[in-house]
Chain A
């Protein structure tokens, strides 16, 4: 079981892609129709000023079926998932969920996963957590870890093999 199985970076995985595609179609049919382009989402978007993400335009592109274009764009990876767009939409459209589906689609199509996501996923697969225990600096420039601070042993999957087996099922599941 490896990261390739779970993200389909090796060979594109038909079942996984079909499922995400269904999700996008559903969003396209049911949600993007409600959007009347008031741009309230974009006016409050945390990634708008800094990184030029425009959620209302993403919804408009989805409505026109330009899914591949968005999947291939880096802009979908600028969302900080603050959920303001979903919270404030007067029509209950959730651009943040459109972006999650698009990013999932990019990964399932074998696009390169940006930045540290690969390392994070790899760590979850091997030890069950995003990262391993770190030693942290104190204000007096000493270094301390959990045990030195009197904290109990960390909780993580007891049987890593079984845990990985469970995750691998998600990767190969036929929908």
Chain B
């Protein structure tokens, strides 16, 4: 059993509960132990536009908390994953910055050393757990569900920071979905951004980006849309109706977290995977199992 400190970030633990629930349900079945630690804060990436030094220090601080316990870090949020990976790369290669940031951390009795590695849901499932194990556990495979995958920009770029999948042709989510019986198909808009980061200052434009992509997905006849980012999911699922209004379309695309579909294929009940928190029409497709089945 491999142990990780669960670094939840901000958006998942304060509103995207379905992601957290489905992760906590599925990963232990794959011999991954998640350890909850006290004291984490924001990774700083969403406020990088305000002050980059703040982002770097906040990320180093969170890594230091996990390092203190001798644990590697698992973060389900691509934005956190990028902030932490970026901080690690800067601090491990720049001794001056290393000293400067550690001086900030002294007050809280923390020290960044660089000992922890960082994983996201995607590389944890694909590289560490492995496709074969996932295939074995998938007792109730999804039958030929035609899915569109969405990776999220921060998960695959910039590749110089060491990202979990390829920047132009990411395939790990496809492989995981195939292993649980789904049928991921290519579509030209696959790498388009959800616009989520614009929510802070240009919320209408953010929704337009979301709506434009979902409209194309709907037109191409996909059964479902799958993501692995709480920011993207908030756009595509929680705000789908509003996003549809910005492009004058009635959007009815069922949107799932990868971990929700994974859990379902392992035989976990829908309510334990937070299916009633998806606001997109997820009941439109028959995935088996009654909604409130225990």
A165 close to chain B: CB less than 8 A: yes
Chain B interface SS verdict (over half): helix
Query: Known interface pairs A104-B49, A107-B51. Does A117 touch B200 (Cβ–Cβ under 8 Å)?
Result: yes
A131 close to chain B: CB less than 8 A: yes
Complex: A57 Cα to B206 Cα, angstroms? 23
Cross-chain pair count, CB within 8 angstroms: 186
B70 close to chain A: CB less than 8 A: no
A3 nearest CB neighbor, chain B only: B50
| From B54, B193, B197, B277, contact of A136 by CB (8 A) | B277
Contact yes or no, B41 A163, CB < 8 A: yes
| From B52, B201, B274, contact of A116 by CB (8 A) | B201
A7 close to chain B: CB less than 8 A: yes
B280 nearest CB neighbor, chain A only: A139
Complex: A83 Cα to B57 Cα, angstroms? 21
Complex: A162 Cα to B238 Cα, angstroms? 35
Complex: A6 Cα to B57 Cα, angstroms? 13
A164 nearest CB neighbor, chain B only: B107
Interface string of B55-88 (1 = CB under 8 A from A): 0011001000000000000000000000000000
Query: Known interface pairs A116-B201, A149-B21. Does A81 touch B8 (Cβ–Cβ under 8 Å)?
Result: no
Contact yes or no, B209 A128, CB < 8 A: no
Contact yes or no, B50 A156, CB < 8 A: no
Contact yes or no, A87 B107, CB < 8 A: no
Q: Separation in Å of the A114 CB from the closest CB of chain B? A: 4
Complex: A46 Cα to B58 Cα, angstroms? 27
Q: Separation in Å of the A4 CB from the closest CB of chain B? A: 13
Residues of chain A with a CB closer than 8 A to B203's CB: 115
- Count of A residues near B, CB < 8 Å? 61
Query: Known interface pairs A50-B208, A82-B193, A128-B41. Does A170 touch B50 (Cβ–Cβ under 8 Å)?
Result: no
B46 close to chain A: CB less than 8 A: yes
B11 close to chain A: CB less than 8 A: yes
Query: Known interface pairs A80-B209, A81-B153, A131-B10. Does A104 touch B41 (Cβ–Cβ under 8 Å)?
Result: no
Q: Using C-beta atoms within 8 Å of the partner chain, give the interface range for chain B.
A: 35 or more
Residues of chain A with a CB closer than 8 A to B24's CB: 151
A84 close to chain B: CB less than 8 A: yes
B127 close to chain A: CB less than 8 A: no
| From A80, A83, A124, A170, contact of B53 by CB (8 A) | A170
Q: Separation in Å of the A20 CB from the closest CB of chain B? A: 8
B54 nearest CB neighbor, chain A only: A170
Query: Known interface pairs A80-B209, A136-B15, A151-B20. Does A7 touch B37 (Cβ–Cβ under 8 Å)?
Result: no
Query: Known interface pairs A46-B209, A87-B159, A162-B107. Does A7 touch B40 (Cβ–Cβ under 8 Å)?
Result: no
Complex: A42 Cα to B282 Cα, angstroms? 36
B93 close to chain A: CB less than 8 A: no
Residues of chain A with a CB closer than 8 A to B103's CB: 169
Residues of chain A with a CB closer than 8 A to B46's CB: 120, 130
B150 close to chain A: CB less than 8 A: no
Complex: A103 Cα to B201 Cα, angstroms? 13
| From B108, B159, B274, B279, contact of A149 by CB (8 A) | B274
Task: List the 7 shortest-distance A-B pairs measured between CB atoms, nearest first.
Answer: A115-B201, A128-B41, A83-B157, A130-B10, A82-B153, A114-B201, A103-B49
Interface of B with A (CB < 8 Å)? 8, 10-11, 13-15, 17, 20-21, 24, 36-42, 44, 46-54, 57-58, 61, 103-105, 107-108, 153-154, 157-160, 167-168, 191-193, 195-203, 205-206, 208-209, 238, 274, 276-279, 282-283
4 extra A-B contacts, CB within 8 A, seeds A133-B13, A144-B277, A149-B17: A46-B192, A104-B52, A130-B42, A131-B11
Task: List 11 interface pairs A-B (beta carbons < 8 Å), by A numbering.
Answer: A6-B54, A80-B198, A82-B153, A104-B51, A116-B200, A120-B46, A136-B238, A155-B13, A155-B39, A155-B40, A158-B39
